[in-house]
Amino acid sequence: MKFSTLALAAVAQVASAHYFFDTNIVGGVQQPAFKYVRQSSRAVKYNPIKFSSNPAADIRDGSTVDGPDIVCNQGAFASAGKTEVLTVNAGEEVRLKLAVGAKFQHPGPGLVYMSKAPGSVKSYDGSGDWFKIYEEGVCDGGDFTSTAWCDYDRDWIAAKIPKDTPNGEYLVRMEHIGVHRSHVNQPEHYVSCLQVKVQSGGNGTPGPMVKFPGAYKATDPYANFSIYNGRKAFPMPGPAVWAGGANGGASSPQATTAAKEVATAPASKPTTLATVPVAAKPTAQAGCAALYGQCGGQGFSGAKCCASGACKAVNQWYSQCLN
């Protein structure tokens, strides 16, 4: 097959708009791709995981948030045995980096979870309990549809293994969620898992605990959140971050997180609203897709127009409204 210049440009766009993790960084040194990170088996590695309530044509590679792929990505467990186990001290940072030079160019939160393997993490499918060790959402007063998000335009997510984490082998699950289409119940989940052995740990009782699938539901506030039409507090997906120690049962995670977002985001600053031009545009106007929304592609039956930006072909199955 011959590639036109347009097709090559489209591939470059994919690399920046969609993404997957392939490597971890230790002491500033990038480790070989998929040495400690489980590799997914999906046909298009950078595709997101979406809710199964979406139209079938919008699901990528059959991966849904309601199925096993939300654990560590599609088919990742099959690579567990050949993926090595990284030894880390409790209190140290783990960091995952995106592959092929991609950056997070969807607005949305970054989240890190851990789950203890009953024995060797190489034979653990991630069906046990998960606790959250880190989350980041909105960081500053920038454009609420892009740069205001902490990890926007970055190519990594990092978190410190809590000092109180008991010794043992764990999966560390790194996730970025694009929320540019959450207003139509289509958040995009990008997930990968790192295999670690925690040493010099503590005697904490991690929690609150959740399961994957199960931690996220299509009816959750984050999955129905609009980044358009003004700045507002973002309801963080999943449970509260484990605070360390024995208080694994912190209550009302959503409320706690929302309150924190309000406290850190300059929600009522009038100048902020004035600098968000996209927000002023009615996204549902004439049924056209919002910025970053799908506006075409093979098998797509929705409106082929953009309320904001221009409709550009990302690949034969996916055209997207982009600036």
Closest CA to 140 of 18, 255, 271, 229: 271
Query: In sequence order, what E strands does 161-227 have?
Result: 168-178, 188-199
Q: Which is nearer to Cu ion, 16 or 23 (CB)?
A: 16
Q: Which of 74, 81, 86, 84 is nearest to 35 (CA)?
A: 84
Picking from 318, 294, 323, 309, the residue whose alpha carbon sits closest to that of residue 11 is 318
Q: 295 with 289: CB under 8 angstroms?
A: yes
| Touching Cu ion, residues 43-72 (CB under 5 A) | none
Question: Which x/- pattern over 239-278 shows residues binding Cu ion (rule: CB under 5 A)?
Answer: ----------------------------------------
Question: What minimum distance in Å lies between the beta carbon of 250 and Cu ion?
Answer: 32
Nearest to 9 by CA among 291, 296, 292, 312: 312
Binders of Cu ion among 186-205, rule CB under 5 A?
188
Residue 291 backbone dihedrals phi, psi, to 5 degrees: -55, 135
DSSP state of 283: T
Q: Which is nearer to Cu ion, 34 or 318 (CB)?
A: 318
Chain residue whose CB lies nearest Cu ion: 188
6 to 45: interface string for Cu ion, x by CB under 5 A: ----------------------------------------
Q: Could you give the 3-state DSSP secondary structure of residue 78? A: helix
Residue 191 CB, nearest approach to Cu ion (Å): 14
Dist CA 1 CA 24 (whole Å): 34
Q: How many angstroms separate the first and last alpha carbons of the chain?
A: 29
Tell whether omega for the bond before 107 is within 30 degrees of 0, i.e. cis. Answer: no
Residue 188 Cβ vs Cu ion, minimum distance, rounded to whole Å? 5
Q: Which of residues 128-147 bind Cu ion (CB under 5 A)?
A: none
Nearer to Cu ion, 22 or 188 (CB): 188
Shortest distance in whole angstroms from residue 17 CB to Cu ion: 6
Number of residues that bind Cu ion (CB under 5 A): 1
| Residue number, 17 or 37, with CB nearest to Cu ion | 17
- Per CB under 5 A, the segment of 34-42, 63-71, 185-193, 203-211 that binds Cu ion is 185-193
Nearer to Cu ion, 83 or 145 (CB): 145
96 Cβ contact partners less than 8 Å away, ≥ 6 residues apart: 21, 23, 24, 25, 37, 156, 157, 158, 174, 192, 194
Q: What is the closest distance, in whole angstroms, from the C-beta atom of residue 54 to Cu ion in the complex?
A: 13
Report residue 205 as tokens: 């009782």
Query: Interface with Cu ion by CB under 5 A: which range of 37-45, 84-92, 184-192, 295-303?
Result: 184-192
Task: Please report how close the Cβ of residue 276 comes to Cu ion at its closest, in angstroms.
Answer: 20
Stretch that binds Cu ion, among 114-122, 182-190, 191-199, 261-269 (CB under 5 A): 182-190
- Closest CB to Cu ion among residues 175, 188: 188
Those residues whose C-beta lies under 8 Å from the C-beta of residue 4, and which sit 6 or more positions away, are none
Nearer to Cu ion, 19 or 130 (CB): 19
User: Which is nearer to Cu ion, 143 or 188 (by Cβ)?
Assistant: 188
Residues that bind Cu ion (CB under 5 A): 188
